[in-house]
Amino acid sequence: MLALGIDIGGTNARAAVVEVATGRLLASAKEAWTDRTPENVVSVVQALVSKVTAGHELTGVAAGVGFAGMLRGDVVVNAPNLGWRDVDFGGPLSAALGRRVRLVNDLSAAAWGELKAGAARGASDSFTVFVGTGVGSAIINDDVLLSGATGVAGEFGHTKVLADGGRLCGCGEHGCLEAYMGGAKLTEWMAESGIAGTPADLERLALEGATPAKGLYDFAVGHLALAIANQVTVLNPAVLVLGGGVLLRCPGIIKRVTTVVMTRASVTSRSGLRIALAELGDDSGLVGAALLGR
């Protein structure tokens, strides 16, 4: 059986035909845009779908769409990277593709892909944390994605590490975990502190004991690790999936998170817990969207 997945980022879209049983991509294509209006994005996606579906039998198959933004049903409430607010995207896209579409948050799609075809395969309950440019998470309980009352559950990056104040986050608030640990903000903080390079460079310096690198690293990673341990306690997942560019390039962070989770999560939640690195890389969202769309 085949499924159709679409992944819409800030600068480009991907589409793929996915084999449901395995999560394997049978055909995929990618295209960037300069004109980021909803009309143009719809037509870019339409062309991609025509390309990947050629030669595959996908009549009547709904498309799953992973979208980097805040959604409410078919409507994109806010997509900062595209500059969209309150755009009915699902309706026009469905009309253009001649099939039903299901929009889901990109991180939820990625978590679903990892659950069904990646690091958490075989489980029904996962907590997935991605640390890349930003920090995000998705919660799956008993094979259901937790959406929350208004569809914004999983905003783990905007939990606060301090009771008051703290560094300014991209969301406009102060003291968010993402304001310290998200790649974009961490790099800013490093620059302000006279530390050149990437988070991986910070890790190398910190593990050598260099100041001020060690201070920044211990603060950011310590809060990330404790916050993840506490979510494991509250959510009781079978698998904790760790992914995203920053995490996957910083083995020291993975190690610290693992140690803290296995000592500071509650005994009952950590016994039997599996901690796994995301396996599908850039394809997780595409695969997950396809499988969710069916």
Question: Where do we find the tokens 């819409």?
Answer: 8
CB 160, CB 146: distance < 8 Å: no
- In the bound complex, what is the minimum distance in angstroms from residue 211's beta carbon to a second copy? 20
* Nearer CB in complex with a second copy: 74/155: 155
Nearer to a second copy, 162 or 191 (CB): 162
- Name which of 46 and 147 has its Cβ closer to a second copy: 147
Q: How far is the CB of 28 from a second copy (least distance, A)?
A: 32
- For the bound state, the minimum distance from the C-beta of residue 227 to a second copy, rounded and expressed in Å, comes to 7
Per the CB < 8 A criterion, the answer to whether 62 and 293 are in contact is yes
CB of 119 to a second copy, least distance (A): 15
Shortest Å distance, C-beta 103 to a second copy: 17
- The SS3 assignment for 4 reads strand
Secondary structure (3-state) at 207 = helix
The arrangement of strands across the sheet holding 84-88 comes to: 70-72, 75-79, 84-88
Interacting residues with a second copy (CB under 8 A): 70, 123-125, 137, 139, 141-142, 144, 146-156, 158-160, 163, 171-173, 175-176, 222, 225-227, 229-231, 233-238, 260, 264, 266-269, 271-272
- DSSP 8-state secondary structure symbol assigned to residue 238: S
Q: Which is nearer to a second copy, 96 or 226 (CB)?
A: 226
| Closer residue to a second copy (CB): 91 or 151 | 151
C-alpha–C-alpha distance, residues 203 and 197, integer Å: 10
Distance CA 207, CA 5 (A): 41
